[in-house]
Amino acid sequence: MTEQQGFTVWFTGLSGSGKSTIAEMLYHEFRARGMKTEILDGDEVRKNLSKGLGFSKEDRDTNILRIGYVADLLTRNGVATIACPISPYKETRDAVRAQIGAFVEVHVDATVEEIAAHRDPKGLYKKALAGEITGFTGVDDPYEAPEDPEIHVDTLSQTPEGSLQHVLTRLKELGRVDDDRMLVTGDRVHSGLTDLRVSDAGTVVKEH
């Protein structure tokens, strides 16, 4: 049996851009291919590995470096690792890339205006734009978009399935998967590894 080679797919983008949605779908695609896989979701990691950290630049960097450390351990042990934190700072993402090596950066692109208008169920963007919340990424705290990511998805023009298909196609081109067909269709059982909402039937509620 050929041993699986580990790698990390690192989704970066604004809060609400669709990172967790695509990451969850990719997780099920990897599992359908019999691959060992794990998800490191930014919000879930903050509840456990990074509990107590705030949102200063230093704390944000610490959180990302912790996720990168765990992703590196998983990758070295043959796991197809999916990470989907905001990771707003290029320097820190580049440090994680250098540490892991087998690293595929995915920029999940959506504008603040689109997210605020259509994907802001808690009204956080509206509060940040009104000055009621400070230090909000993409509003009054910087988000440094990747300059040359391996994969770019535009969730303003693509459906979740379209974004997933683009990711799978690029992963095949990069030699990370053998088949870029979508193997999982219909509702997906929640992995329990992301903060996506769950329906009463236990499936993922699409929000992108």
- 15 assigned to active site: no
112 CB burial (10 A radius; 0-12, 13-18, 19+): buried
* Listed residue (101, 76, 71) closest to 6, CA to CA: 76
Cβ–Cβ < 8 Å for 204, 24:
yes
For residue 81, the cross-strand partners are 8, 38
Q: From the candidates 15, 50, 87, 191, which is the catalytic residue?
A: 87
Residues with catalytic roles:
87
